[in-house]
Amino acid sequence: MPEALDRIDKALLIALQDNARLTNAELADSVALTTSPCWRRVRLLEESGVISGYQAILSPKALGYGVTAFVSVMMESHSRETARAFEQRLLEIPEIIACHNVSGRYDFLLEVLARDLESFGEFAREVLQTLPAVKEIYSSFSFKSVKPLRQIPVPQPGA
């Protein structure tokens, strides 16, 4: 965490994570600033990369996705070229909404959305198993999302 973050910067980050649609006036009011200094601080947080973007949070269920699967992928080869080809291909597949290169038995952990179990099975056979150098896949399914929002904890003094 950059040393330059003060109490107000941290309050801005928390407020924006709670509601990125706050107007500058509402945001300024929530941290006891006037609008100009508030706008400058948010802009500095963006320019420094602490705030990397803004995004609407969509409901998978409302869009017809009834299945969330976590897919562990074991690679046949661990060469740099194979990993890059695999990762590049993943970026082209919209049903894969998150991917992590992980330690342990498997090499990657994917979060995948599907309309139903049948369509997930088809996706696994026709897409996942055909990715470059995939040796094995193992899927687990989410019964419910307990903590659906991805909010980054903002460190507080002494933490």
How far is C-alpha 52 from the chain's CA centre? 12
Looking at residue 148, what is its pLDDT?
86
The CATH fold of domain 60-142: Alpha-Beta Plaits (3.30.70)
- Rounded to the nearest 10°, the torsion over CA 26, 30, 35, 36 is -140
Whole-prediction pTM value? Answer: 0.86
How far is C-alpha 7 from the chain's CA centre? 26
CA atoms within 13 A on the CB side of 110: 28
The arrangement of secondary structure in 7-48, i.e. its CATH architecture, is Orthogonal Bundle (1.10)
Per domain, the residue ranges of the chain are: 7-48, 60-142
- Check whether 158 has a pLDDT greater than 90: no
Structure tokens at 18: 């709670």
Looking at residue 157, what is its pLDDT?
67
Q: How confident is the model at residue 1 (pLDDT cuts 50, 70, 90)?
A: very low
